[in-house]
Amino acid sequence: MKNTINSFWSNKARRTSFVTYAVVILAFIAVQVFDSMGMLSYAMRGQLIPICVYIVLAISLNLVVGISGELSLGHAGFMGVGAFVGAVASTALQSVIPDTSLRLVVAMVVGGIMAGIMGVVIGIPVLRLRGDYLAIVTLAFGEIIRNIANNLYVGKDEAGLHFALLNEDGLKMSETGKLIMAGPRGTVSVSAISTFMAGFVLIMITLFVVLNLVNSKEGRAIKAIRDNRIAAESVGINVMSFKLKAFVVSAVLAGAAGALYGLSMSNVSSVKFSFNTSIDILVFVVLGGMGNILGSVIAATVLTLLPELMRPLADYRMIMYAIVLIVVMLCTWSPKIKGFIQVVTDGVKGWFKKLFRGLFVKKEVGTNG
């Protein structure tokens, strides 16, 4: 028994996965307990589903940016596709599937699949580009998706779904028709069926997919491409196919998260899926540590809550957020500041050692003897 535990624990990848699952499950239980004790404020409860959405987005972007090593600035575009497709699917199926949980699952699957198809369409040409060019093209695609959604009108009546561009009159609906998407206003009067539970399940599925992919043979191939593309190519790894795989998986997960987001409120406009949201998700990934899945989970949670927690600072909260972001980046990356922190912590450690010298010496003697 002890041996199996030891061999399980000695595998670093498995250990990291285990800790990641454990942290997410414990956090979920803790939230449920606090909620049942009535310790969550109304504002906090409102943040629960967005936190789940951002965690999934951060993990999926980490697959592209951290694991596959491609800078993508259009992740919110996939989220938007998922959100709008999910909202349309959910409204269209309202009479067919009365059960809200099942309908939510179907909407998330449909949203994910549509985002995945977009991922293939975008990925095949885009992944041929390198570095900053790839970044700008993903940015461009994100903006194109947003621009089209901004002018898309969707309605539903007895005859089925109606689509039109630019204005509502183009829909030609019957009188009982109901508007689902209204161009710049985004989705209108969608029934909010997302739940925190669904968000938790989506996070667990995302973790399962991404962690298994990362620790598999394919994951190692993807990381090999990131570390040295030419070397990877020369040992027979098909660069395009592996990059595309990571990109599409990431898009599918982002689409599902988008559907969860789109169905968490009655009205979502396309402004939400602009470049700024893509950047926010990227900040989660980089601050959490590239390639570090648990880091993404924590960073997404903390940074989504941070503006909420800093509400007492009123007008100063967003500027404080910016300062915190800059300072954290400088402290974690700058060699000089890192060196300085090292000196300080070493000094403090040395001071503590001096203080407890007697204690330490005795212990050392004990272990040596």
List of residues contacting another protein (CB under 8 A): 65, 71, 125-126, 128-130, 132-133, 135-137, 139-141, 143-144, 146-148, 150-151, 166, 230, 275, 279, 282-283, 286-287, 290, 315-316, 318-319, 321-323, 325-326, 329-330, 332-337
> To the nearest whole angstrom, how small is the minimum distance from the Cβ of residue 344 to another protein?
17
> To the nearest whole angstrom, how small is the minimum distance from the Cβ of residue 104 to another protein?
30
> To the nearest whole angstrom, how small is the minimum distance from the Cβ of residue 210 to another protein?
19
Give residue 255's identity as a one-letter amino acid code.
G
Selection from 340, 240, 296, 323 nearest residue 58 by Cα:
296
> To the nearest whole angstrom, how small is the minimum distance from the Cβ of residue 25 to another protein?
29
Alpha helix segments (H runs only) across 263-334: 275-288, 293-309, 317-333
For another protein, the closer of residues 33 and 231 by Cβ is 231
> To the nearest whole angstrom, how small is the minimum distance from the Cβ of residue 80 to another protein?
13
Please report how the helices 275-288 and 293-309 are oriented relative to each other, as an axis angle in degrees rounded to 10. Answer: 120
3-state secondary structure of 182: strand
Q: Helix (H) and strand (E) counts for the chain?
A: 15, 3
Establish how many alpha carbons lie within 13 A of residue 53's alpha carbon, considering only the half-sphere containing its beta carbon. 32
For another protein, the closer of residues 217 and 336 by Cβ is 336
> To the nearest whole angstrom, how small is the minimum distance from the Cβ of residue 124 to another protein?
10
CA torsion through residues 81, 137, 327, 336, sign: positive
> To the nearest whole angstrom, how small is the minimum distance from the Cβ of residue 60 to another protein?
17
> To the nearest whole angstrom, how small is the minimum distance from the Cβ of residue 332 to another protein?
8
d(CA 99, CA 114): 22
Strands 152-157 and 178-182: antiparallel
For another protein, the closer of residues 71 and 92 by Cβ is 71
For another protein, the closer of residues 102 and 331 by Cβ is 331
For another protein, the closer of residues 129 and 239 by Cβ is 129
Residue 345 vs residues 267, 321, 350, 351, 354: alpha-carbon distances, Å: 50, 26, 8, 10, 14
Residue 31 vs residues 27, 52, 153, 221, 367: alpha-carbon distances, Å: 6, 12, 38, 37, 43
Q: Contacts by 357-360 with C-beta closer than 8 Å and gap 24+?
A: none
For another protein, the closer of residues 109 and 148 by Cβ is 148
For another protein, the closer of residues 116 and 183 by Cβ is 183
d(CA 91, CA 190): 7
Query: Structure tokens of 124?
Result: 């095949």
The residue behind tokens 């259009």 is 74
For another protein, the closer of residues 135 and 256 by Cβ is 135
